[in-house]
Amino acid sequence: MNTLKIRTNLVPLQGLGVLFLLFLSLSAFAQNYPSGKSILDKVDNNMSAKSRILTARMEINSARGTRTMESKSWSSGTEKSFTEYLAPAREKGTKMLKLANQLWIYSPSTDRVIQISGHMLRQSVMGSDMSYEDMMTDRPLLEQYKADVSGEEVVDGRKCWVVNLTAIATDVNYASQKMWVDEERYVPLKVEMFAKGGKLLKRITFSDVQRVQNRWYPKTFVYKDVLKDGKGTKMVIEEMQLDATIPASVFNLGNLK
């Protein structure tokens, strides 16, 4: 009888052994994920540049209808950018200049230059789903967030790492982000941005990923402010030049008028 009891008691212990081995195998599999830091480093290498010259089309799909605007912009590093709107006629000649954390806008209809600062930076750019803060932020992700990889998912037929970003800088626009990064090309295909309390604020989807000067870059972005009606704002990059030499005189207040 004692022998039978001992053998009976061994059964659950053997079951625990199987579960323990399964846990170890799952843990080993999870550890095969690349580090969040290495993923962000590769994303930054693709998406960041010393300078950019872009011609883009912006489609604002609001509850009132669709508006299309065209613009050309020049940027140098993360501190300087200059944008001029080319169309439609009503917006043509509007210019924006960013120097560090300062932003000025010239309106041809009033022939005035105004400075945007403080809470006004959270306002919409031209009625779009982008804020002035969104437009002004161009720092590498590694300077703003720490990252952890939580798994893998498929987005638009592409295998992606699911990366959770938590702010390490105090001046970020979003306290956390969730990013789906293409495992092969290391560009984001979808991003969700959250407030400090965890509320979803905005979503961006990226598509039309192309090879640009030895790096992968999405040519189409769709921004959606989830707190607003409408289908979001679509940005299409029509021409792009990276790491070009831009004269310092471009980033001058005198160019606004």
For the chain, domains (ranges, CATH) are 37-256 (2.50.20.10)
Dump pLDDT digits (tens) for 216-243. 999 999 999 999 988 999 999 999 999 9
In this prediction, residues 123-150 reach a mean pLDDT of: 92
DSSP assignment string, 210-241: EEETTEEEEEEEEEEETTSSSSEEEEEEEEEE
Which CA distances in Å does 164 have to 77, 172, 180, 227?
A: 26, 15, 9, 22
- Beta partners for residue 236, in sequence order: 57, 220
How far apart CA 27 and CA 70 sit, in angstroms, is 50
Which residues, 6 or more positions from 55, have their beta carbon under 8 angstroms from its beta carbon? 70, 71, 72, 237, 238, 239, 240
**Which tens digit of pLDDT belongs to each residue from 14-70?**
555 555 545 544 444 455 899 999 999 999 999 999 999 999 999 999 888 899 999
* Residue 6 pLDDT: 39
What pLDDT, on the 0 to 100 scale, is given for residue 14?
52
The pLDDT assigned to 221 comes to: 96
* pLDDT, mean of residues 187-213: 97
Gap between the Cα atoms of 62 and 228, Å rounded = 8
Q: What is the pTM of this model?
A: 0.85
Span 68-91, average pLDDT: 95
Average pLDDT, the chain: 89
Cα(187)–Cα(42) distance, integer angstroms:
8
Determine the average pLDDT of the residues in 103-115.
Answer: 96
Closest CA to 141 of 111, 178, 106: 178
